[in-house]
Amino acid sequence: MTAVLPDRKTAYDVERIRRDFPILHRTIRGGKKLVYLDNAATTQKPQAVIDRLVTYYSEENSNVHRGVHYLSEVATAAYESARTTVKKFVNASSEKEIVFTRGTTEGINLVASSWGLDHHSNIVPWQLLCEEKGATLRIVPVNDAGELILDEFARLLTKRTKIVAFGHASNALGTINPIKRMIAMSHANGSVVLIDGAQGVPHLEVDVQDLDCDFYAFSAHKVYGPTGVGVLYGKQALLDAMPPYQGGGDMILSVSFEKTTYNALPYKFEAGTPNIAGVIGMAAGLDYVSAIGLSNIAAHEQDLLHYATGLLKEIPGLRIIGTAAEKASVISFTLEGVHPHDIGTILDQEGIAVRTGHHCAQPLMMRFNVPATGRASFGLYNTREEADALVAGLHKVVEVFRG
């Protein structure tokens, strides 16, 4: 089966889109229809991405940049074309500002190591840097709705603040942070800004030049592409001034026992043989999303968010954690008297996939005095009927635990 990219000029046809995702049509747990609501963890892949990976491995497989033979030329062209695709997707000013990584986490680690907040990946690298440099990590508090308190953010900014890092959107609560305003506040303070865009790119149009962020990191697998690959955008002047993150392979221009000369941007930060297939597959995923249109996707997901939120509020004992005015399509919740893992287990038996746990955001869970939550996260292919199935499943959870 070969997928055809959707036409963004037509009305949003979720059933048409669902046909592009083979996994959505399978049954699990004794014939139950799969209801996949764990998109904040990873998204499913359209046939266009699957086909592109198969084509690479069956027709183009070769290392890039180093060969003069036909396959290497083809693979290199596809690989570098993917960089151009990413540049356009986030509106970077140059391909030199697009560094391929293993994902958001590696992008953040790269900045922490070479430049040298609710998600562990945006906490731990800074803790390691603080231990190494003797710096202090300062955390911006959130209010009861799960929104960053901007007055506190402004208070924490001082002339000693060298770098500010925050998420575009929270994977645990869905809160969309006012990042453009926060970037401007940080720059006015003389601070460099890194955005964790893992949950931003799948749901929102991203224009790094308009945002004026210094760094922006995201993962392909959150936006309908392969796992194990991602992007770090960085302003060219900053990347130029930074030392390499790792050594070997493409990051080298020349080597002698006396001296090593590093490659130009962005290859200075891409040591070793890259995830060639993953990068090419990522471009196919971004092309797929672009063909639908981020604004169309956002409108569809917001409809699901509001529809599902209204239904969930009617379930006795259910508490929604994170009620920000601006949210991506993520709903975290607890159910009185029921551990989140039990919620997830019973829903799974009904064919419904949700995430349970602390969502790599333990400090945030402590802020709301809960050990864990259930989390339903919607993507471009989810439907109101699936939201209904979630609600029916939660009623079954209530029945099991309360009689």
**Statement: residue 3 has pLDDT above 60:** no
Q: Which of 154, 298, 315, 360 is catalytic?
A: 360
The pLDDT of residue 125? 60
* Beta strand pairing call for 215-219 and 35-36: unpaired
Which residues make Cβ contacts (< 8 Å) with residue 181, sequence separation at least 6?
150
**Under CATH, to which class is 49-291 assigned?**
alpha beta
Q: What is the mean pLDDT of residues 194-218?
A: 97
**Per mean pLDDT, which of 136-145, 146-155, 364-373 is the most reliable?**
146-155
Q: Tell me if the domain spanning 14-39+294-402 has CATH number 1.25.40.10.
A: no
State yes or no: is 360 an active-site residue. Answer: yes
Contact 43, 199 (CB under 8 A): no
105 is written with which tokens?
Answer: 């986490």
> Distance between CA 261 and CA 249 in Å, rounded?
12
**Per mean pLDDT, which of 100-114, 120-134, 141-155, 175-189 is the most reliable?**
175-189
To the nearest whole number, what is the mean pLDDT of the chain?
89
Instruction: Please tell me the chain's helix, strand, coil percentages from 3-state DSSP, rounded to the nearest 5.
Output: 45, 15, 40
Query: pLDDT tens for residues 157-170?
Result: 999 888 899 999 99
More confident residue, 146 or 364: 146
* Beta strand pairing call for 230-234 and 215-219: antiparallel
Confidence grade of residue 305 (pLDDT, cut at 50, 70, 90): very high
Alpha helix (H) ranges present in 157-247?
Answer: 179-188, 208-211, 236-241
**Statement: residue 244 has pLDDT above 70:** yes
More confident residue, 156 or 128: 156
More confident residue, 333 or 262: 333
**Statement: residue 45 has pLDDT above 90:** yes
Report helix, strand or coil for 291.
Answer: helix
Which residue ranges make up each domain of the chain?
14-39+294-402, 49-291
Query: pLDDT tens for residues 380-393?
Result: 999 999 999 999 99
The pLDDT of residue 132? 64
Report helix, strand or coil for 150.
Answer: helix
Confidence grade of residue 187 (pLDDT, cut at 50, 70, 90): very high
Q: What is the mean pLDDT of residues 52-69?
A: 94
Report helix, strand or coil for 288.
Answer: helix
The pLDDT of residue 164? 92
The pLDDT of residue 252? 58
Confidence grade of residue 128 (pLDDT, cut at 50, 70, 90): low
The pLDDT of residue 317? 94
Q: What is the mean pLDDT of residues 124-143?
A: 70
Confidence grade of residue 141 (pLDDT, cut at 50, 70, 90): confident
The pLDDT of residue 249? 60
